[in-house]
Amino acid sequence: MNKNLKIAIGSDHAGFSYKEALLKWLPQATVKNFGTDSPESTDYPDFAHPVASAVESGEFDFGILICGSANGVAMTANKHAGIRAAICWQAELASLARKHNNANIVCIPERFISLDDAKAIVKIFLSTEFEGGRHATRVGKMSC
Looking at the domain 6-140, which fold is it?
A: Ribose 5-phosphate Isomerase B; Chain: A, (3.40.1400)
Asked about 67 being catalytic, the answer comes back as yes
Q: Which of 49, 67, 80, 107 is catalytic?
A: 67
CB-CB contact of 42 with 17 (8 Å):
no
For the chain, give the mean pLDDT: 94
Q: In one letter, which amino acid is 16?
A: F
| Cβ-based neighbours of 144, under 8 Å, separated by 6 or more | 81
**pLDDT above 80: residue 28:** no
Each residue's pLDDT tens digit, 37-57: 999 999 999 999 999 999 999
Each residue's pLDDT tens digit, 91-111: 999 999 999 999 999 999 999
Quick check: pTM over 0.75?
yes
Find the angle CA(82)-CA(58)-CA(39) to the nearest 5 degrees. Answer: 85
CB-CB contact of 44 with 85 (8 Å):
no
**For residues 54 and 2, which has the higher predicted lDDT (pLDDT)?**
54
Q: Decide: residue 119, CB within 10 A, 0-12 exposed, 13-18 middle, 19+ buried.
A: middle
Asked about 100 being catalytic, the answer comes back as yes
Q: Which of 13, 49, 80, 100 is catalytic?
A: 100
Query: What residue ranges do the domains of the chain occupy?
Result: 6-140
The pLDDT of residue 104? 97
